[in-house]
Structure 1
Amino acid sequence: MSQGSTRKTLASIAHGRSGDKGNHANVAILGYSQDAFDWLIGFLSKEKVEDYFKPLGVTQVERYLAPNVRGLNFVLKDVLAGGSSASLRSDSQGKTLAAALLLMPLPPDCPARLFFKG
């Protein structure tokens, strides 16, 4: 990387929201544009998300597409260490998981047309 350049993250092309479902959490990622959503379908696989959250103990990831809102919804199984009433984690409800996923670096060859210009 050249001096002064910064690495683009998922937040450059999408936003997200997350929450708890017992001991599981869901993370929704919504593309800023149709182009971004179309690209994310190929890039953001359930295997990639599972690997990303493996340090938190996720055991399985399910992925659902919501094309009408340019969204990908991921259900992260067993990621909350017992859920909100049992977990000693500071984020026992998984509210920061979307923010964490939005920090995922994008590959250097990610098409420039995807970046939010707002």
Structure 2
Amino acid sequence: MTGQKTITVPLYRLAHGRTGDKGNRSNISVIAWHPALWPLLLEALTPEAVAAHFAHRQPSRVQRFVLPRLQALNFVLDEVLDGGVNDALNLDTHGKALSFWLLDMPVRVPAALQPHLAGP
């Protein structure tokens, strides 16, 4: 993106998500809204970037699984649910709440891709 005009938008403008949780592990899938946005998701959503975004939850490990035919990424975050839904005292630690946190992550997007973004 060097030399290109960019805008910064929340991830939900580029993709939608699905999520689940099992024990103390959250599983978050991110699916591109448009094929033109897929390469940007690959570049921006590294395991390191996702781990940094969830630093306040202190994941012990973040794994990324690439699903190119679906233009999707699946992230598995270990040790982020305060021991799991049944053990946690905080209701907001469920996996679904964490997917909204990821979809709010800021992403730099080349201005030329703006027509492919969802929302205003």
* TM category, shorter: 0.7 to 0.9
Query: Which region of structure 1 is more displaced relative to structure 2, 28-37 or 88-97?
Result: 88-97
Give aligned pairs, total. Answer: 111
Q: Which has the higher helix share?
A: 2
Identity %: 35
Match of 1:3 in 2: none
Match of 2:110 in 1: 111
Query: Gapped runs of 5+ residues in structure 2?
Result: 1-6
Counterpart secondary structure, 1:17: strand
1:93 deviates by 2.7
Match of 1:101 in 2: 102
Match of 2:42 in 1: 41
Amino acid at match of 1:115: L
Match of 2:4 in 1: none
1:83 deviates by 0.3
1:65 deviates by 0.8
What is the distance in 2 between the residues matched to 1:117 and 1:12?
Answer: 6
CA contact (8 A) 1:57 1:81 kept: no
What is the distance in 1 between the residues matched to 2:57 and 2:66?
Answer: 24
What is the distance in 2 between the residues matched to 1:15 and 1:56?
Answer: 22
Amino acid at match of 2:83: G
What is the distance in 2 between the residues matched to 1:15 and 1:92?
Answer: 20
Match of 1:73 in 2: 74
TM-score by length of 2: 0.84
TM-score by length of 1: 0.85
CA contact (8 A) 2:28 2:75 kept: yes
Q: Please provide the CA RMSD for this pair.
A: 1.9
1:57 deviates by 2.1
What is the distance in 2 between the residues matched to 1:61 and 1:85?
Answer: 22
Runs of 4+ in 1 over 4 A off after TM superposition: none
